[in-house]
Amino acid sequence: MSKPLRLGIAGLGTVGIGTVKIVQRHAELLARRTGRAVTISAVAARDRMKNRDADLSAYGWEEDPVRLAAREDIDVFVELMGGSEGAALDATRAAIAAGKDVVTANKAMLAHHGHALAAEAEAKGRVIRFEAAVAGGIPVVKALTEGLAGNEIRRVMGVMNGTCNYILTRMESAGLPYAEVFEEARQLGYLEADPSLDVGGIDAGHKLSLLAAIAFGTRVAFEAVELEGIGRISIDDIRRAADMGFRIKLLGVAQMTGRGLEQRMSPCLVPADSPLGQLQGGTNMVVLEGDSVGQIVLRGPGAGEGPTASAVMSDVVEIARGCRISTFGQPAATLADAVPAKATAPAPHYLRMELTDKPGALAKVATVLGEEGISIDRMRQYGHADTSAPVLIVTHKTTREAVDHAVRRLPATGVVVGEPVAIRIESV
């Protein structure tokens, strides 16, 4: 049997401890599957005295992750601290400089520095693996870099933030408003310390940008992702979308077009009976479309100790077996600069607005839509208060630009109360 593969784990939170437990629990299994022992030499965390529900007494301890990264008794630096800058980035660069391979769950760091880190690693003959950074336990990175390597990828799409999916499905099932479910998610510990990372679409946008880089052979371009969170989605939107046969999801879509790379993370309506429409709770789902394979759907837990640690260990096993794949599936020097493109492909849209109870109000709305080249597929008006009535419109295929122009013009008609809501309907 070959010499052991020695790990140094930086960050002993939920995922770090989960990784330790897998190494301890499955030592014999890992050795059989890789042909060598997988061991932990040392760990790094700030508070050595904290109770972490795992026996760490056999491992070296470093308070400074940079010191851990440089230790001679580790072969793989496992970065599970998080954060796009600071200690995580410094320690990762130190590990590469010291000739270590890197396994990380840090989507923010890779979204902002992935190309530079990949180039640094390749110059040293090292690899960076990040299965745990995208969609938790779902092996989507390996699906793109290995299983679908013979395909030209046409589209990557999915629900990539379990917290947002939990909030939206909980609103629907319990009939609760957004603010109440948001607070419930916060108390359950589902939200990041900065909740905007979740509900603002930033966390999911990081993940989408990494998958897009692999799928389309481009440099990571998180700054080009069109981001819109779920904060404006009301319980009325959810109920009325359901009436029309749809569910609302925070959906990421990336596709290469003749104009460039489209990347958007925004609320969309999807058919209620589609795989995405049936996705409940904190589960993630990624849909990959290739020219040879067609469409495949990957579904599974998007977070949590076990699923994310499982993804970390899949990368460790890959390294232990001697598998050397470039960070984004091809050498960093061959990754093209992504030309950002706005989503212009026509699609149906959902429009919700409150109209004053005046004769001709609906006609004025229809006139504005018609002048922007938007035709109405379906329309529904609900029971109204004394002065206004909610109206729901589903359009035929139209561009987002036309919808945005219409939404900006509608208040000037004098018949719209408040701000209209427009949400794209995605074909899946």
Which amino acids are annotated catalytic? Answer: 207
DSSP secondary structure letter of residue 146: I
Q: How many residues in the chain? A: 428
Could you give the CA distance from residue 70 to residue 65 in angstroms, rounded to a whole number? 9
Contact 84, 113 (CB under 8 A): yes
Q: Is-contact 104 92, C-beta < 8 A?
A: yes
Could you give the dihedral angle defined by the CA atoms of residues 18, 20, 25 and 28, in that order, rounded to the nearest 10 degrees? Answer: 130
Q: How far apart are CA 235 and CA 84, in angstroms?
A: 34
Integer Cα distance of 70 and 10 in angstroms: 12
Structural contact between residues 368 and 251, judged by C-beta atoms closer than 8 angstroms: no
Q: Residue 182 is which amino acid? A: F
Task: Please tell me whether residue 77 adopts helix, strand or coil conformation.
Answer: strand
Check residue 143 and report its DSSP letter: I
Distance CA 220, CA 113 (A): 8
Residues 6+ apart with CB under 8 A from 294: none
Residue listed under structure tokens 């949400």:
423
Inter-CA distances, 186 with 192, 199, 273, Å: 8, 11, 29
C-alpha 351: how far from chain center: 26
Q: Using CA atoms, how far apart are residues 276 and 287, in angstroms rounded to an integer?
A: 9
In whole angstroms, what is the distance from residue 229 CA to residue 204 CA?
A: 10
Chain center to CA of 241: 23
